[in-house]
Amino acid sequence: MDSEIFLIVVIVLLLLMSVYFALTETAFSSLNRIRIKNMAKEGSKRAALVQRLGGDYDKLISTILVGNNIVNITSASLAAVVFIAYFGEQLGVTLSTVVVTVVVIIFCEVTPKCLAKQSPEKFALFAAPLLNFLEIILTPINFFFAKWNVLIKRILRIGGESRSITEQELLSMVDEAQHEGAIDLNDHQLIHSAIEFNDLRASDILTPRINVEGISKGSTLDEMTEQFLTLGYSRFPVYEGSIDNIIGVVHMRDFFRHMIKKDAAIEGFVTPAIFVAPSIKLNALFKQLQEAKSHMAVVSDEYGGTAGIVTMEDILEELVGEIWDESDEVIDEFIPLDGGRVKVMCSAEVKAMLEYFGLKPEDGIESTTVSGWIMEKLGKIPTEGDTFDYKHLSVSVTKIEGRRALECVVAVGER
């Protein structure tokens, strides 16, 4: 009887170790490594130990699996001895198998792993000292399995290359962090913008040629003064003949400084323009503007004309969002109307409009603005009154200027 009681105590201890291994495996596979790294920097010895153990994951997982199998097999064997002693060989083996299986699955696997998933860092910090001790004890076995893994990988010709995280995976991690409350919405949007920044080109953010306000080289000082005061811009491109022949940029500060000096020659306060291709990446353009100490670049089209302009402010707005100053006019791009309709400014981005109506932008859309999208969908120059359907949206062109749409009304139908 005493021997059976002793075996029962040993079995309970082994099952507790099984719980420990299940907790440890889930905790180390689910923990936030950045959080642990920060805790280690703040002086936490436990966190530093967790960081070191997690650095060699193959060795860590080998220790956990070997230890867990040892305790589970041993507990099952001892349980069979106890049950045979009480119920006989035939019934004892059956009962032992059923009871141990149920106990191990429910109490030693599922339950502890669910708990560890909720607070992985907490359980990893708790488990680290004993796991470090077990790694030392099981070093010979871990060494054998490490060499065995190398051999298997060579035979199967797998591994070898280092796997880097993709941009989409990084964006998903940021989304998850915001969902879990680790970062707020503003941080989430800023990080998203920073990650996607390298994919943007000048053509994605330029002010199109038709919207570019410039100063003619032949303008008088009074005309230039009126343009600066009326439009409120701090700088203008200067062109000769047409906007396709930009010769430089004039800054309001330089202009009025020469006005005081009564220097009427426009060449005296025009600085050289920076010309770039539409395909230039924004990070390269930003660096180019910094090096040139300039705030504006002219985007040339394939024929040498002007496709548009990009300013330093345009680039920064892609990172931090809209930057408003006192002279900016706030324009609502989406104005709700009666009957579930919405008036849309056609200068708005297609992506912003589709997201406003709960739709995801499609890969086939080539246009950047709603105006270009309308022309793309109609297959012709839009005229006032043109209508078309897109998914559950009904789009009507309501205002035209020249050959482009200025405003449209979107009616939302049933999905």
pLDDT value at residue 141: 84
**Edge-to-edge strands of the sheet including 404-412?**
334-336, 341-345, 404-412, 393-401, 387-390
pLDDT at 320: 76
Is 3.40.630.30 the CATH number for 203-320? Answer: no
- Which stretches of the chain drop beneath a pLDDT of 70? 1-2, 159-165, 180, 182, 261-267, 321-331, 363, 415
Residue 138 CA from chain centroid, whole number: 41
336-389: pLDDT as tens digits: 998 889 999 998 888 889 888 888 777 677 788 899 899 989 988 999 999 999
Q: Are 351 and 369 in contact (CB under 8 A)?
A: no
Number of helices followed by number of strands (H, E) in the chain: 17, 13
Nearest one of 266, 286, 273, 227 to 246, comparing CA atoms: 273
Position 186 scores a pLDDT of: 76
Half-sphere exposure of 195 (CA within 13 A, CB side): 17
pLDDT at 7: 87
**Please, are residues 409 and 342 in contact by the beta-carbon 8 Å criterion?**
yes
Write the pLDDT tens digit of every residue in 180-227.
Answer: 676 777 777 788 778 778 788 898 889 888 889 999 988 888 888 888
> Residue ranges per domain, the chain?
2-156, 167-197, 203-320, 334-412
How confident is the model at residue 415, as a pLDDT? 62
pLDDT value of position 267: 66
Q: What is the pLDDT of residue 297?
A: 93
Contact yes or no for 405/394 (Cβ under 8 A):
no
Sheet holding 246-251, edge to edge: 215-216, 235-239, 246-251, 270-271
Indicate the class that CATH gives domain 334-412.
alpha beta
* Stated pTM of the model: 0.55
Question: Given the structure tokens 């009326």, which residue do they identify?
Answer: 230
pLDDT of 160: 54
Closest C-alpha to 356, from 313, 386, 395, 316: 395
How far is Cα 268 from Cα 220, in angstroms, rounded to an integer?
14
